[in-house]
């Protein structure tokens, strides 16, 4: 049902950079809606990681950054750390669904 | 600090009604926020269920409309979810979350979640 597509998994060694894509369409990301990212640690609830495409809430390390272009958005994690192993979800809104909320398919980040 | 806490039965029989409540602390449910429900089937991604504003105005996921009712109780600072005619496909972790009304409208914070299993 998800209209935002993410890779099921990405992995990297400690210190490396990983990038997670979130691909949408002209009805959601391409329509100008903001993209937000949530981190879900194992067994925990999702937590806001990036809001408004590229803004970090207080307390989120600057290793995490977001960007948006056209119908896609990306989350980059630089200087990967073991504690970054988690699921990551993008979120936006969709005009074909009465402007209501849509989530991405979710990506599992594994630190090798 | 705003906190949300879900509560309700962890087991519901097929064709029955799933009922959950979210208690809000650290903020008034009458404040300018939308109060949301999101679910996550085991091993899968997040699915938005619906939301309610303090006035009682609701927005529902079209795929669940017809089975879903979200209500708010200002006297107890809680909001609730009722999902009728449940099947095994409704088995999931259910989260409540606040969505701020001003741009950029993100979800924060989230409750810890409650697992609801639909089984006889």
State pLDDT tens for residues A56-104: 999 999 999 999 999 999 999 999 999 999 999 999 999 887 768 999 9
Kindly report the nearest CA distance between residue B111 and chain A, in angstroms: 7
Q: Locate tokens 């809001």: which residue?
A: A51
CB B70 within 8 A of CB B60: yes
Q: Please list the residues that pair with B100 across neighbouring strands.
A: B33
pLDDT, residue A99, reads: 64
User: Which of B48, B51, B99 is nearest residue A103 as measured by Cβ atoms?
Assistant: B48
Kindly report the nearest CA distance between residue B109 and chain A, in angstroms: 7
Kindly report the nearest CA distance between residue B106 and chain A, in angstroms: 7
Per-residue pLDDT of chain B (120 residues; tens, 9 = 90+): 999 999 999 999 999 999 999 999 999 999 889 999 999 999 999 999 999 999 999 999 988 988 999 999 999 999 999 999 999 999 999 999 999 888 788 999 999 999 999 999
Question: CB of A106 within 8 Å of any CB in chain B?
Answer: yes
Q: First vs last Cα of chain A: how many Å apart?
A: 31
Q: How far apart are CA B111 and CA B97, in angstroms?
A: 6
Both tokens assigned to B113: 């979640």
- Nearest chain B alpha carbon to A88: B45
pLDDT, residue A3, reads: 86
């Amino acid at each position: 049902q998800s209209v935002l597509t993410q890779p099921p998994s990405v992995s990297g060694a400690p210190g490396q950079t990983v990038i997670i894509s979130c691909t949408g369409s002209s009805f959601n990301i391409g329509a100008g809606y903001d993209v937000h990212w949530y981190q879900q640690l194992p067994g925990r609830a999702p937590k806001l990681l990036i809001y408004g495409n590229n803004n970090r809430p207080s307390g989120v390390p600057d290793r995490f950054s977001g960007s948006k272009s056209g119908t896609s958005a990306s989350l980059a994690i630089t200087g990967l750390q073991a504690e970054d192993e988690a699921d990551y979800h993008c979120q936006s809104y969709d005009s074909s669904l009465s402007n209501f909320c849509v989530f991405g398919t979710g990506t599992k980040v594994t630190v090798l | 600090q705003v906190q949300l806490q879900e509560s309700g039965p962890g087991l519901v029989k097929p064709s029955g009604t799933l009922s959950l409540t979210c208690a809000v602390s650290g903020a008034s449910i009458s404040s300018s926020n939308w109060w949301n429900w999101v679910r996550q089937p085991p091993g899968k991604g997040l699915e938005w269920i619906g939301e309610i504003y303090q006035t009682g105005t609701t927005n529902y996921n079209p795929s669940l409309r017809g089975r879903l009712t979200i209500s708010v109780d200002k006297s107890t600072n809680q909001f609730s979810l009722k999902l009728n005619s449940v099947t095994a496909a409704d088995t999931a972790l259910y989260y409540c979350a606040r969505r701020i009304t001003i741009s950029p409208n993100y979800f924060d914070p989230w409750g810890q979640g409650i697992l609801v299993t639909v089984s006889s």
